Structure formats: C-alpha cells, structure tokens
A = this chain, B = another copy of it.
C-alpha cells in the first residue's frame, strides 16, 4: 500500500468516527468539558498523525535523493582528474611522433601511454567515436568540400582526440570534416 493510500485511509477513518463520537457525547452530557477535551484530544491525535505521515514520506524522499546523488558522485567522481590528465596524453602522442627515438625511449613512452589509457578506461573514460560528424562529440575546426568518395559529414582528419566519461563529454574531438 502506498503512503498516500495509507494517509487517506487513516484520515477517512478519523472523519468517519468523529460524528459518532460527537453524537454519543451529546446524548450523555451536552457540551461538557469532557466533550471539549475529547475533541481537542482527537484533533491533537489527528494533527500528530498527519505530521508523522508527512515526516515518514519525507524520510523516504530524502533517502531516495541521497541515493541518487551518491550514485551520480560515484559515476562522475573521476571527471576533474581525468580532464586534467588529457593534456598529458596529448603530449605523449606528440613525443611519440618525434623522429629518431631510440627503441628504449619509445617503449618507455608507450608504456606510460598505455597505462594512462588503461587507468582512464577503468574509470569509464574513453575516446569519442569518430565514424560520422556529430556536433555533440566533435568540433569542426576546418571543412573540406564533400565529393563522391567523401560524403558530407564524414571526418577527414582528427587534430585532437576527444574523450567522454560514460555518456558525459569531457572534451570534444577537434576534426576536419567534409561538408
């Protein structure tokens, strides 16, 4: 039974018993002090019952909201740190693109890169998809004319990778797009 049903049911019950009480009191003693006391006590009981039912409903609301907030904090907890380490990933990519790296250095850089990507992945951070241009995920910094081989909205080049944390965008991919 929902809380609202319960509340209404008890309210109806109180309303249903009140007239009967009034009648029987009137029969025995018209407007005695006991009658007044009884009315006050019944009102007081109803008042606190309603307060209690409201407080009870409030408890469930507070717990539900706290639970939702906790889940959201958990889900996006790594957002700031993840965002802050994306430039390190960019720098690593640039360093790896330098000509004439020794194998040792290249291996070292790749290890750092892979472990960063893995750490981010475990927290739910991944590169945004690049199949077709999507203004929600990509920023077009340049456009090229579309032709038969390159349909409109296909991506010509990625200038900087984009990342998202679960479904939340951390930064868009910077792309060149056919238009």
A positions within 8 Å CB-CB of B? 21, 24-25, 28-29, 32-35, 37-38, 41-42, 44-45, 48-49, 51-52, 55-56, 58-59, 62-63, 66, 69-70, 73-74, 77-78, 80-82, 84-85, 87-88, 91-92, 94-95, 98, 100-102, 104-105, 108-109, 111-112, 115-116, 118-120, 122-123
Given A108-B95, A116-B85, answer yes or no on A122-B28 (Cβ-Cβ < 8 Å).
Answer: no
Of the candidates B52, B66, B81, B87, the one whose C-beta lies within 8 Å of that of A66 is: B66
Of the candidates B38, B119, B120, B122, the one whose C-beta lies within 8 Å of that of A34 is: B38
A84-B45 in contact (CB<8A):
no
**How many copies of this chain sit in the oligomeric assembly?**
2
Closest Cβ of chain B to A26, distance in Å, is 10
Closest Cβ of chain B to A2, distance in Å, is 17
Closest Cβ of chain B to A106, distance in Å, is 9
Which residues from B are CB-within-8-Å of A108?
91-92, 94-95, 98
A80-B38 in contact (CB<8A):
no
Given A38-B41, A98-B105, A105-B105, answer yes or no on A88-B66 (Cβ-Cβ < 8 Å).
Answer: no
A77-B73 in contact (CB<8A):
yes
A81-B78 in contact (CB<8A):
yes
Which residues from B are CB-within-8-Å of A95?
105, 108-109, 112
Which residues from B are CB-within-8-Å of A115?
84-85, 87-88, 91
